[in-house]
Amino acid sequence: MNQAQVNNSDLLLFDEALPIGDMNSPRGFKSECIPDKKVKVDDLFKFRRGRGDLQISIATALIALFFFFSFWAHTGWGDRKLPDEMGTYIAYQLGLMDIEVRVVRFGRILKQPWVIPMLCLLVLIPTAVWNMQESFKVYQWRKRFMLPTSVQFELSKYVAAFEFVAYFILYTFFVPVLGYLLSTMFLGTYMTWRLGYRNWIWVFRGALSSFAIVIIFRTFLQIKTPGSIWIYDQLPTAFRTFMLTYF
């Protein structure tokens, strides 16, 4: 690669200099090695398959196959109405034949509930299988060059995320019990503490932010929250109405 090629084709986004000067010198050493890769504009948009890609690609292919096997029982395929002689019908549709008898309108076939799901699966299954294959090739390449392929780190992140999913689901179930105000303040304060912001200033900020969310969305914007709250039902009537309306 000479200087002109580098200037024209590579946008160097870092400060390292290329040892280009020596390559064109008549007495200099002409290396066959490709210079160290520099970041190019294209690289900003480049996709690289990381660890965990193969496992998730396999999972998506299995999900696609699951939908494929479910298709026959869950889309009305059993009640399909198709012309008796499909070959002749297709030839007619393509203009290769003329049929004198009355023909089923193509629109009636398209309207059937299984048609669009079938088209989806015709896109989904080949792409899922292709994706799995490409991912496997990258995995094999990484193994061949003894690059790390362990997914332990990724799995740890997936498992870690489960904890927060559980918190959200618990929050969802506690709102009808404790009300939006208490549940949100509790979750906001607990999450602040749980995520490692443990000094009182941060815990206070968490509580204050939760309170602000309740005031803005529930009190002012009157966003809907569950109408029947167990803890508010224990309050005196006037106070209950106030809490149900504004918190």
Partner 1 sequence: MVPDVLIAIVVGSIGGLIIGAVPGIGPAIAIAILLPATMFLDDLVSLVLLLGVYGSSMYGGAIPAILINTPGTPVNALTTYDGYAMTRRGEAARALSLAYASSFFGGCFSIIMALIALFAFGPYLRDLGALFGQRDILMAAVLGSVLLIAAHRQTMGIAAMLFGFGFLIAMIGRQTTRKIDRFTFDIEYLYPGFNLIVVIVGIFALSQALNLMVGKDDDPPEARLTGGLLSGFKELFERRLITVLSACYGTVMGIIPGVGEFVAQFFSYSTARAISKEPARFGHGSPEGLIASETSNNAVPAAAMIPLLALGVPGEALTAMMMVVFFDAGIKPGPDIFENNPDFLFSLFTALLIINALVLAALLFLTKYIVKMIYIPNRFLGAFIMILSFVGVYSIRNNLADCVFAIIFGYIGFILRRLDWPLVPIVLGLVLGSIILERLTAGAGQIKTAVDLINRPVSGTLFVVILMVIGFIIWTSIKNRRESYQ
Could you tell me which stretch among 27-35, 137-145, 181-189, 232-240 binds partner 1 (CB under 8 A)? Answer: 181-189
In this complex, which beta carbon is closest to partner 1, that of residue 27 or of residue 37?
37
C-alpha to C-alpha distance for 210 and 189, rounded to whole angstroms: 8
> Restricting to residues 96-115, which ones interact with partner 1 according to CB under 8 A?
103, 105-108, 110-111, 113
* Binding residue for partner 1, selected from 27, 37, 102, 157, defined by CB under 8 A: 157
* Binding residue for partner 1, selected from 184, 229, 232, 244, defined by CB under 8 A: 184
C-alpha to C-alpha distance for 10 and 131, rounded to whole angstroms: 29
Spatial CA neighbour of 24 closest among 47, 50, 1: 1
Q: According to the binding rule CB under 8 A, does residue 186 interact with partner 1?
A: no
The Cβ-side half-sphere exposure at 91, using a 13 Å CA radius, reads 8
Spatial CA neighbour of 21 closest among 38, 43, 1: 1
Q: According to the binding rule CB under 8 A, does residue 223 interact with partner 1?
A: yes
Distance in Å, CB of 133 to partner 1, minimum:
10
C-alpha to C-alpha distance for 19 and 33, rounded to whole angstroms: 11
Given a contact cutoff of 8 angstroms between Cβ atoms, the answer to whether 114 and 76 are in contact is: yes
DSSP secondary structure string, 136-168? HHHHHHHHHTT-----HHHHHHHHHHHHHHHHH
Could you tell me which stretch among 23-31, 142-150, 173-181, 230-238 binds partner 1 (CB under 8 A)? Answer: 173-181
In this complex, which beta carbon is closest to partner 1, that of residue 26 or of residue 107?
107
Distance in Å, CB of 29 to partner 1, minimum:
25
Q: How many residues bind partner 1 (CB under 8 A)?
A: 89
* Binding residue for partner 1, selected from 195, 230, 239, 246, defined by CB under 8 A: 195
> Restricting to residues 116-135, which ones interact with partner 1 according to CB under 8 A?
116-117, 120-121, 123-124, 127-128, 130-131, 134
Cα dist. 174→68, 168, 188, 193 in Å?
Answer: 38, 10, 14, 19
C-alpha to C-alpha distance for 222 and 245, rounded to whole angstroms: 8
Could you tell me which stretch among 18-26, 29-37, 93-101, 231-239 binds partner 1 (CB under 8 A)? Answer: 93-101
Q: According to the binding rule CB under 8 A, does residue 175 interact with partner 1?
A: yes
> Taking CB under 8 A as the rule, which mask of x and - marks residues 30-69 in contact with partner 1?
-----------x--xxxxxxx-xx--x---x--xx--x--
Q: According to the binding rule CB under 8 A, does residue 72 interact with partner 1?
A: no
In degrees to the nearest 10, what's the CA dihedral of 165, 171, 173, 175? -160
In this complex, which beta carbon is closest to partner 1, that of residue 28 or of residue 161?
161
Residue 200 CA, chain-centre distance (Å), reads: 36
